[in-house]
Amino acid sequence: MIIFASEKYLRLQLSLCARFSCLTFKWNEATKKVVNIPKNSSMKLKVDLSKAINLVYAIFQFAIILGNKYSTPEKIEAFLFFSIYAIGVALRFGYVGLTPGQMLNSLDILEQKYRKIYGSKMHPNFPKDFLIMWLQPACYLNCLAIPVVIALLLYNRPWQPPFFGSFLFSLYPNQENRTLYACSLYNVSRFLILLLEYVIFSQTVLSASFHIIYVVVAGICSISKYTGALSYRPGPRENGISEYRILHVATNYVNDCIKHTLFPACIVEPPLLQMLGTFACIKLRNEIDWPLFGLFPLIVCISFILTVMPLLAAGNVFVTTCQVLERWRSHVGEENGYWRRIVKSMRPLRIYFGGNFVDASTPLVVQDFCMRQIASLLMYSNSHRM
């Protein structure tokens, strides 16, 4: 497999996703490829059912937030958790056109070709590439640990909005004056709700982390790695143009998979989590109880990484190919018009989100927007009683 989606962790991630019926594709041991599960299989039915439950539950959470008069800290808490479910829904229903499996398999074929051409230039670079590769084991461990942490949190705080228990347990009478039967029913209901929350949150985290780490980040960072290797070509004559065109096709494959929903969701939702989480850490640190408050710095850190990393890699694709084409144009400036026309007709590679593309300044623009909104929230909270 490709550098940024190693076979070991990709197989582990897909195996874990299969246990929770999260994804419509799986790992094929015979071909060492990502393949779609059969359309008429029971697994496909389970995945479709889990996607529908995920969507209905996210809508239910949004209705709970709108329909209750929570305090400001409770609203921030509820909206942060709802945003995690919302990004999971967006990513699960996200890809249009080329599937993630087709994209990964196509990049695998291209990377094998580039390894033969560029040799050591395709080896991981320290520390940048190793930091990206480190996300894979970190992602797998988080997918195991975070749902358990959420289940423990809900065990201690069964009324935590916007989860299902905040609605259901409000219908129960107070703990006093309960019969033994009522107490038993309460405990059984609490256990079943914890199990349901664990399964739904696991499905959300597993599917979202796969699409973010193994599709969006791996796809964009792979194109960035290939353009970096291509930049070592001295000029367009030594098969450079044909290799550039092949890379252009691979970039179109990645764009076709991520530009419609996956990449836009990664640009919108993580900055939103970053803004709300930072505001809560600064302004509401004395109003949110532990251990819930401990999740907020973790959410901010993860959101910052997921916001900056794909944008930096996508911006690097555009900048590097601009430099390559500029060097090629100067290289063929004194040669015949045929090569000049060919090089002049070539365009830099772009990673798209919707109808726009990422350039060198996009990461700074996004972070500047986040900082301004955080400052605005803090100023507003100081001028109004929260």
β-strands 25-28, 33-36 pairing = antiparallel
Q: For residues 106 and 253, is the Cβ–Cβ distance under 8 A?
A: yes
Q: For residues 49 and 35, is the Cβ–Cβ distance under 8 A?
A: no
Per-residue pLDDT of the chain (386 residues; tens, 9 = 90+): 677 778 888 899 999 998 998 888 888 888 888 888 888 888 889 999 999 999 999 999 999 888 877 787 888 888 888 988 998 888 888 666 678 888 888 898 888 888 887 777 778 777 777 888 888 898 889 888 889 988 888 888 888 888 888 777 665 555 544 565 566 777 788 888 899 999 999 999 999 899 989 989 999 999 998 888 877 665 555 567 788 888 899 999 999 988 888 888 888 888 998 998 898 888 877 777 777 788 888 888 988 988 898 999 999 999 999 988 888 887 776 666 777 788 888 889 999 988 889 998 999 999 999 999 989 888 887 776 55
Residue by residue, DSSP assigns 22-89 as --SEEEETTTTEEEEPPTTSHHHHHHHHHHHHHHHHHHHHHHHHHHS---HHHHHHHHHHHHHHHHHH
Does the CA dihedral 376-381-382-384 come out positive or negative? positive
Structure tokens at 290: 């532990």
Does the CA dihedral 48-103-211-29 come out positive or negative? positive
